[in-house]
Structures are given as structure tokens and as C-alpha cells.
Amino acid sequence: MKIVEMVMPPMGESIMECTVLHLLAKAGDKVSIDDSILEVATDKVDTEVPCPFSGVLAEWLVKESEVVPIGSPVARIEVEDNVNAEAVQPNNPPANGQPDIKINNVPEAIDVEATAALLEKDYEEALSKKAEPVLEYAANSPESNIFYSPLVLSIARQEHISPTELATIPGTGAENRVTKNDIFSFLDNRNKQVEPALPVATSLNGSNEIIEMDRMRKMISQRMIESRRISAHVTSFIETDMTPVVQWREHTKAEYRKKTGDSITFTPILIEAVVKAIKDYPMINISVDGDKIIKKKDINIGMAVALPDGNLIVPVIHRADQYDLPGLARKVNDLAKRARENKLKADDLAGGTYTVSNIGAFANLMGTPIIVQPQVAIMAFGAIKKKPAVIETPQGDLLGIRSLMFISHSYDHRVVDGSLGGLFLKRVNDYLENFDTHRTIL
């Protein structure tokens, strides 16, 4: 038997560290390949980490609530002598977020010593660089030579933490750097110190309950406020005749459930219409970087999902234009199910270029959702209601009962003018009103 180290695997695009939430196994427990042995949290998702070996968990190298860099050792596992640890340990993550696998006995055309020297030089230069100022007026402060991550700087700006205060926060990250958890702990303690100064009668009178925000709610709050600050939100509305879609779904859903064991909801139909409209108006599928507009080639649709605890999460259908309607239905059901079971991976939440929210699921008629940064638009679909409506025919106008739905389109007026925002909304409307009721999904 021999001891091998398990390292923290890649968690998705741009994720450099994660927080250990729970250790799911104890020292001395038998473990198998792909057994979930710890649960971690990143800025994007909580997820379970599988074990890459079969053997006995000899020792944990991390503790709960500890912030752990990607690629660092987290546990020692006792395995059979013939197990090749290097063959299953993840290397640096490629662009798609999936770990590479080292293959032994294959010569690498790389000068290892030269590469190591370059990496060490880059690392030393990064440590010696002056950090960007926490606040605009702090660029020349004596504290500004300390390195802080962009996330920490963003939180500091939003919470109005002065450079002097930031410099006093003890860091628990690598090289004693301040992590997001350190800054959240500082804010919690600062708030607790302020609260006693308030008269007890005005804050607690026995009739109110104080509920601490959980980590995800704090994250959502931070991102929503930041989005309102960044983007110039404008919202347009349209009322869409969903009668053809409703009639087709009523005719199809029983057979679909019988053959697939799953439901066909309105969401994949709505997403299909949005994808078609993005192809017609690709300048909706953009993001903003300073004074530059980045036009995205891939159409990655985020879909807002309400979680059982009341929080919200937005998994992404990557390259949604490559799915037909049956494929979209399967993808929507899969992501929604895994979101509610807390089984999403970090990559499931990364790379969205446009987001939709089906607020009609809560019987809401319309809404004005907040844009998911760095996207520039978001669409909300309201409840479908039967209403009397005028029906235009070659023989004249008739009064009939139609299934109508409000659609709202919120967009960033910095880069999306009213004409583009309105035309895009109208095109989604047209694809839904002209839905082919003779199409099949099985």
C-alpha cells in the first residue's frame, strides 16, 4: 500500500479558489473512485467533489470553512501499490473547464526547468505589482501596495471599506492574502459592533425576527446592486398571442410524458424563439468591456431557476442554437432538476450571453428583471391568461378567447438602443405567434 495526495480539481472557468463547506468522509473510511467526499463552494455554485482513487482516506489536509486554491492538496489516500496517481490527477484546466489527464511514458517537448523559471519570475512580478486602488481616491495611499484580488476590491468598493480598513483585515488565503470570506467576516463583525449603539426599543421589540442572509443571498444581493450600477436599464413590453403554442402543447404533452417520462414545459419553446431572434439580431448577443463591445459567437442562454430555499440560480444552455426543440426540452429539464438538487457544476453556470426568466410559473403577469452581468439584456415571460381578444380574418374582425402573455425585455441602453431592443422583442413575439402547430417533438 502507498499514500497518494488528492488535489482540488478545476471548478470551471476563472475559478481560482473555493471554500470547503463539508467533509463528507472521515479519516479511516473506505472510498471509491467518483465517491463524493467533500462539498465546496465557489463564487458560482456549491458542488460535491468526487474522489479520484479507490482506497482508504488516510488524512484530511483541509478543514471546513477553509479557502483552498485550485490544484492544492486536500487529502491523503492509501491506495494499492499498482495505482498510478499521476494518471488520474487533474492538471491545469483547459478552456472548457474539463481537467486534462496526464499520460505516463509520453515524452513532453517542454524544457521543464526553463518553464519553471519563467513561472517563478511571473509569480514574483505579480506579487510585486501595486494593486489597483480600492477606491478612486486611494491610488497613492500607503496601503495600496498590498495585493488584492479583483473580487475583494469589488466588494470593498461596494461596501465603502476604506484602504486603511482593508489593510487591517487579516488574510487566510495563500501568501496571507485577503479572501472574499475574510472580507465578509470583517463586514459581519463591523455590523455587530454598530448594532448595540441603536436603542433596543427601536430595533428589537419582540415582534420581529432577524434572519441572517445565507452566502448565496449575499452573493445575489451584491450582483444585483452591481448590475443596476453598471447598466442603464430600459424595459420594453409586448403582449403575445400564445394560442398556437398552448394548443400544440396540450395536444403533445401527454404523449411526450408517456414516451420520455418527462414533461414538455413552455420554457424550451420560449428559449427556441429567443435563439432564433438572436440569430436575426446578433448585436443583442454582446457584452461591454470598457469602451469596447464584444460580439459573442456562441449563443449561450441562461435560464433563471428558483430553488427550494427561495434563492435563485441561472444555469446556462451552451450553444443553444445547436439544439432542436426536443434537445432543448431535455436540456431544460436536466438543468432545472440538477439545480434544485444542488448538483450543478461550476461550468453549468459559466459563459451565459443572454438570459430568460419564466416568471409566469409564479402567476406573475409581467416584470422588469435585472440584467445578468456582463450581458446586456434579459427577457421575462409572464403568465399565460385566457382573455377576450379581437381576431382579424379576411372576412372581418371577430371577438374570441385567446391565450395571451406579456413579455418584457430589459436591456442596457448604453449599447442597445430602443429600436434594437424593441425589434428584438417583436421578433420573439412573431416566432411564438407563428409557431408551427404541425411539428413533432418525439
pLDDT per residue of the chain (442 residues) written in tens, 0 to 9: 789 999 998 876 667 888 898 899 999 999 998 888 988 887 667 788 889 989 999 999 999 988 899 889 999 999 887 766 655 555 444 444 444 333 333 344 445 556 556 656 655 665 555 444 434 433 334 444 566 776 777 788 778 888 878 888 888 876 677 887 788 888 878 766 554 444 444 455 668 888 888 877 888 898 899 999 999 999 999 999 999 999 999 999 999 999 998 999 999 999 999 999 999 999 999 999 989 999 999 999 999 998 888 888 999 999 999 999 999 999 999 999 999 988 888 889 999 999 999 999 899 999 999 999 999 999 999 999 999 999 888 989 999 999 999 999 999 999 999 999 999 999 999 999 999 999 988 7
Is position 389 within any domain?
yes
Residues 259 and 362 in one domain: yes
Domain that holds residue 33: 2-87
Do 151 and 277 belong together in one domain?
Answer: no
Instruction: Say if 119 falls within a structural domain.
Output: yes
Model pLDDT, residue 87: 52
Is residue 100 assigned to a domain?
A: no
Same domain, 76 and 199: no
Alpha-carbon distances of 351 from 13, 21, 25, 180, 373, rounded to whole Å: 8, 25, 33, 22, 11
What pLDDT, on the 0 to 100 scale, is given for residue 108? Answer: 42
- Phi/psi for 352 (5° steps) reads -65, 145
Q: Report the C-alpha gap between 213 and 207 in whole angstroms.
A: 19
- Which of 111, 188, 324, 417 does the annotation list as catalytic? 417
Which domain-ending residue is among 33, 52, 87?
Answer: 87
Of 55, 87, 119, the domain-final residue:
87
Q: Cα–Cα–Cα angle for 329, 330, 332, nearest 5°?
A: 65
Q: How high is the pLDDT of residue 142? A: 41
Exposed / middle / buried, residue 302 (Cβ in 10 Å: 0-12, 13-18, 19+): buried
Q: Give a yes or no: residue 19 inside a domain.
A: yes
What is the pLDDT, as a whole number, of residue 198? 45
Catalytic status, residue 417:
yes
Q: Number of structural domains, the chain? A: 3
- Is 171 found in the same domain as 47? no
217 within a domain of the structure (yes/no): no
Distances (CA, A) of 434 to 274, 324, 429: 14, 17, 9
Go through the chain and tell me how many residues it has: 442
Please enumerate in sequence order all residues whose Cβ is within 8 A of that of 47, keeping only pairs 6 or more positions apart, or say none: 11, 39, 40, 41, 343, 344, 345, 346
Look at residues 176, 210, 244 and tell me which one is the last residue of a structural domain: 210
Distance CA(5)–CA(141), nearest Å, equals: 43
Predicted model pTM: 0.63
- Note whether 205 and 239 are same-domain residues: no
Question: Could you say which DSSP state residue 8 is in?
Answer: P
Identify whether residues 76 and 111 lie together within a single domain. no
Of 317, 288, 41, 313, which is closest to residue 184 (Cα–Cα)? 41
Residues 244 and 386 in one domain: yes
User: What's the confidence (pLDDT) of residue 117?
Assistant: 61
Same domain, 114 and 81: no
Residues 165 and 280 grouped into a single domain:
no
Q: Tell me, what's the pLDDT at 277?
A: 98
Q: Is residue 93 part of a domain?
A: no
Nearest to 242 by CA among 385, 441, 394: 385
Q: Is position 256 within any domain?
A: yes
CB distance 326 to 262 below 8 Å: no
Would residue 318 show up in a list of annotated catalytic residues for this protein? Answer: no
Residue 90 bridge partners (DSSP): 101
- Identified catalytic residue from 22, 334, 413, 430: 413
pLDDT recorded at residue 83: 66
Pair 81, 112 in one domain: no
Q: Is 100 exposed, middle or buried (0-12, 13-18, 19+ CB in 10 A)?
A: exposed
Same domain, 273 and 419: yes
Please check whether residues 19 and 62 belong to one and the same domain: yes
* Residue 221 counted as domain residue: no
